Amino acid sequence: MKYVAEDETKAGENREVFSVQDFCDREHVDVNQTRKLLRVLGSFATKQELHMNLQRRPAWR
């Protein structure tokens, strides 16, 4: 694992922040997953946080 100092990161890098409820509505996430995401992340989260904490069943099952 590589150590990265704070001054080596991009200072102007913006991250997309989404409303968790709007994201779940747009991505057709079920009610139980929506509640879990709201409990874990709060009302707003970055795109990466949402995708990393989302658990979906495979479409073919």
Give the number of other CB atoms < 10 A from CB of residue 23: 19
Domain membership of residue 45 (yes or no) is yes
Domain membership of residue 61 (yes or no) is no
Domain boundaries, position 25:
15-53
| In the predicted structure, residue 12 carries a pLDDT above the cut 60 | no
Domain membership of residue 19 (yes or no) is yes
Domain membership of residue 59 (yes or no) is no
Domain membership of residue 36 (yes or no) is yes
- Alpha-carbon distance 16 to 27, whole Å? 16
Give the pLDDT of residue 5. Answer: 74
In tens, the pLDDT along 17-52 reads 899 999 999 999 999 999 999 999 999 999 889 999
- Counting the structural domains of the chain, the total is 1
Looking at the chain, which runs of residues are DSSP E strands? 17-19, 44-46
Domain membership of residue 8 (yes or no) is no
